[in-house]
Chains A and B, each alone.
Chain A
Amino acid sequence: MSVDQVRPSANGSAVAGARPTAVPAAKSRPRRSRRAGRWWTPWLFLAPALLLFLYFKFIPMFNAITMSFQEVQPYLGNKWVGADNYKTVLTSDGFREAAWHTVVLAVGQTAGCLVLGLALALLMEGQSRRLGFIRSAAFLPVVVPIAVVAELWRIMYHPTGDGMINSLLGLFGSSPSGFINDPHTSMASIMVTGIWRGAPYDMMIFLAGLGSVDRGLYEAAKVDGAGRFQRIRHVTVPGLRSVFSILFILAAIRGLRVFTEVFLLTNGGPDGSTEVVMTLIYKLGLEQNRLGVGAAGAVLLFLATLVLTVCVHLFRRRGNE
């Protein structure tokens, strides 16, 4: 308060003479100008960020949209083809199949991660040091680079009886599975790997959310004679509402844009049984040079994530009111 009062008088006298540049600005906007400095100062601080975002986010986004309406021909100039690329994408069987696989994978992984993550969080809620250790150990898959996760699971999924998971399953008397080499089990295998890596992440967020659930409600529920299951259903789950919707959006987007683990585990095979939108876009754009069609696919994928995000936000806002 006192600082603000000193300023105008200082401007009027000695300081004005010492710093003549400050005077005109000070006259038009007496208080703001000093605090804000010259108008371009914030832009100077923002310049590196704006430049990088322009180059690596905004221009690529703009290009993706324009390319999706063009037949992209390096060295020959691009030809405007209107909605042809979109028509190609939407009518091609390969794309429709990939879209379906993507949705299946996204739904399965999202559900698996949420359920398993919540279960883990409920099991491991608490303060003891031993629990902290177990939580950290369970969390490790999240920080392991995805490329390592894929190579590790590839070897564990070895399709013969002496493969690691197969020999474990053999202990329970089940016959060896082909896992990622069998079109019937490939999708589920990728899903399991994704859940293995995603569930501990959800667990950590759930744990943070559980910390803010009102402890008194548990006590009250106990007094009312509620069992564990009822406590979870009527106290914990409602208390975690916002956590659920955030995790849902994150997991669903993660699922829709899935690339690296599919690329490394199966690269779409066997028989295209695990081809997802992103691996298809990669093949179209960077291996077959059909950049326009690839871009159209990417734009559609982006729209899908956007619609999903907006829907969940709307849904949530209505729920809160």
Chain B
Amino acid sequence: MSAPTETALGLTESRSIGGRVVKAVTYALVLIVFAGPLLALLVSAFNHVKDPTQLSLIPSGATLDNFRTAFDQGVLKYLLNSFFVVGGGLLLQVAVSVLAGYALARKKFRGMTVVMVAILATLMLPEEILAIPLSLILADLPVVHFNLIGTLAGMIVPLGAWAFSILVMTEFMKDVPRELEEAARIDGAGDLRIFAQIILPMCKPALGVIGVFGFTMIWDQYLLPLLVATDSSSYTLPLALRTLRIDPSVTPGVVMAASLLALLPSVIVFLFFQRSFVQGLTSGALKG
């Protein structure tokens, strides 16, 4: 039984005292480096901080003052904006992706390759590079002439076009057995019914992947809200952190309290749905 656990370093199965010490020290070091700063954030958010310049690792009496000040600065509104954007954006992205995935995976039609290549090509197109033209388009949508600048809708609608989700859905839907679809078709089911009652329920794992991945990606958005927001009433929480910090009356403790609120949702989603998340990471990275 030792064969499957054989690893490159053989570190994990070393049982000697020296090996254990090395192991403990390395893991402690890893934790300090990667989790330590986040622990400092957590501690400072609940700490009395008199010194306006620095964080403290040692708690000096827990308090909710930092959160109170943060809420006085409008953090609740920014948080609600963020939730609104992530909710709307995710809903749109998932809806768009499952529909497109169904067509690309279950249908054969002329022009399919062109559509597939065009969508895949956008994976190589960093959104940062489109920042300037995108902000112009959001100010005046071609044909319909809407101005989305300064609205939450402007931060939501562009999130619908995300090639990664479409790719994941397409790949997954391809694996649903043909026979199920054929049987439903003989029973007289139309495309919409087959899509909603046969294919979609079979794709729950993929829905989990794009849901969890989409959530963290949208929650992490910075540039798009920055392009769209005109004043603090439409700021999302990540954007608001900067304005908080620039305010001279605000201590790092308050910024950290707001930061804690800004990082909790994505950390919670990650911890609860680790499996889906890692699946998404590897399917996104290892497929190329």
Is A bound to B?
A: yes
A positions within 8 Å CB-CB of B: 3, 6, 32, 34-37, 39, 41-43, 45-46, 48-50, 52-53, 55-61, 63-64, 67, 120, 122-128, 131, 134, 136-141, 143-148, 151-156, 158, 160, 162-164, 196, 200-201, 204-205, 208-210, 213, 215-216, 218-219, 228, 231-232, 235-236, 242-243, 246-247, 249-250, 253, 256-257, 259-260, 264, 278, 281-282, 285-286, 291, 294-295, 298-299, 301-302, 305-306, 309, 313
CA distance A231 to B6 in the complex (A): 12
- The answer to whether B131 and A285 touch across the interface, beta carbons within 8 angstroms, is yes
Tell me the total A-B contact number using a CB cutoff of 8 A: 301
B60-68, B201-209, B216-224: which lies at the interface = B216-224
**Nearest CB on B from A139, distance (A):** 8
The answer, yes or no, to whether B136 is at the interface (CB within 8 Å) is yes
**Can you name 7 A-B pairs with beta carbons within 8 Å?**
A52-B161, A138-B31, A152-B37, A152-B259, A164-B54, A286-B227, A298-B131
The one of A58, A125, A136, A151 in contact with B274, judged by C-beta atoms closer than 8 angstroms, is: A136
Cα A63 to Cα B133 with chains together (Å): 6
Question: Quick one: which of B86-140 are within 8 Å of A by CB?
Answer: 95-97, 99-100, 102-104, 107-109, 112, 115, 118-119, 122, 124-126, 128-137
Instruction: List, in ascending order, chain B residues with CB within 8 A of A242's CB.
Output: 286
- Further pairs besides A139-B34, A143-B263, A231-B8: 7, Cβ < 8 Å: A147-B241, A208-B282, A232-B9, A257-B126, A281-B132, A291-B132, A305-B129
Is B9 in contact with A123, judged by CB distance below 8 angstroms? yes
Residues of A within 8 A of B281 (CB): 201, 204-205, 208
**Known interface pairs A52-B158, A56-B134, A208-B278; A147-B9 also in contact (CB < 8 Å):** no
Let me know if A45 and B3 touch, CB within 8 A.
no
B278 touches A163 (CB 8 A): no
Q: How many residues of B contact A (CB 8 A)?
A: 101
Decide if B142 touches A55 in the complex (CB within 8 Å): yes
The answer to whether A56 touches B157, judged by C-beta atoms less than 8 angstroms apart, is: yes
- B227: chain A residues within 8 A (beta carbon): 286
- If the complex has contacts A138-B30, A210-B7, are A45 and B103 also in contact, measured as CB distance less than 8 A? yes
Provide the bound-state CA to CA distance between A6 and B124, in Å.
Answer: 46
Residue B12 lies at the interface, judged by CB distance under 8 Å to chain A: yes
Taking CB atoms and an 8 Å cut-off, the chain B residues in 127-174 that contact chain A are 128-137, 141-142, 157-158, 160-161, 166
Residues of A within 8 A of B190 (CB): 37
Find chain B residues with CB under 8 A from A306 CB: 124
* A196 / chain B contacts, CB cutoff of 8 Å: 33-34, 37
| Interface of A, helix, strand, loop or mixed by DSSP | helix
Q: How far is the CA of A219 from the CA of B10 in the complex (A)?
A: 11
With A and B bound together, what is the CA distance between A128 and B12 in angstroms?
8
B229 on interface, CB distance cutoff 8 Å: no
Query: Once the chains bind, are A141 and B158 in contact (CB under 8 Å)?
Result: no
Contacts A46-B104, A55-B141, A306-B124 known; A64 to B132 CB distance under 8 Å?
yes
The listed residue (A59, A162, A232) touching B51 by CB distance below 8 A is A162
Kindly provide the distance from the CB of B97 to the nearest chain A CB, expressed in whole angstroms.
7
Q: A260 and B132 in contact (CB under 8 A), knowing A45-B99, A126-B5, A246-B285? A: no
Contacts of A125 in B (CB 8 A): 7-9, 12
Q: How far is the CB of B169 from chain A (nearest CB, A)?
A: 10
Q: Which residues of A contact B157 (CB under 8 A)?
A: 52, 55-56
B5 to chain A, nearest CB (A): 6
- Which residues of chain B are within 8 angstroms of A204 by Cβ–Cβ distance? 278, 281-282
Whether B85 sits at the interface, judged by CB under 8 Å, is no
Bound Cα distance from A3 to B182, whole angstroms:
7
Task: Name the residue of chain B whose CB is nearest to the CB of A46.
Answer: B103
Decide if A143 touches B5 in the complex (CB within 8 Å): no
Q: Hey, which chain A residues are within 8 Å of B15, CB to CB?
A: none
Contact B96 A49 (CB under 8 A): yes
CA distance A147 to B10 in the complex (A): 38
Q: How far is the CA of A232 from the CA of B10 in the complex (A)?
A: 11
The reply on B238 being an interface residue by CB < 8 A is yes
Inter-chain CA distance A68–B65, complex, in Å, is: 50
Of all chain A residues, the one with the shortest Cβ separation from B181 is A35
Once A46-B115, A138-B34, A143-B267 are accepted as A-B contacts, the answer to whether A122 and B9 lie under 8 Å apart by CB is yes
* Interfacial chain A residues near B126, Cβ < 8 Å: 253, 256-257, 302, 305
Which residues of chain A are near B160, meaning CB under 8 Å? Answer: 48-49, 52, 56
Residues of A within 8 A of B186 (CB): 3, 6
* Closest-CB distance, B231 to chain A (whole angstroms): 16
CB-based contact A145/B220 at 8 Å:
yes
Chain B contacts for A55, CB-based, 8 A? 137, 141-142, 157-158, 161
Nearest CB of chain B from residue A293's CB, rounded to whole Å: 10
Given contacts A52-B157, A155-B255, A215-B6, contact A302 B129 (CB under 8 A): yes
Closest chain-B Cβ to A275's Cβ sits at a distance in Å of: 15
Given contacts A151-B259, A201-B281, A285-B131, contact A137 B35 (CB under 8 A): yes
A216: chain B residues at CB < 8 Å are: 3
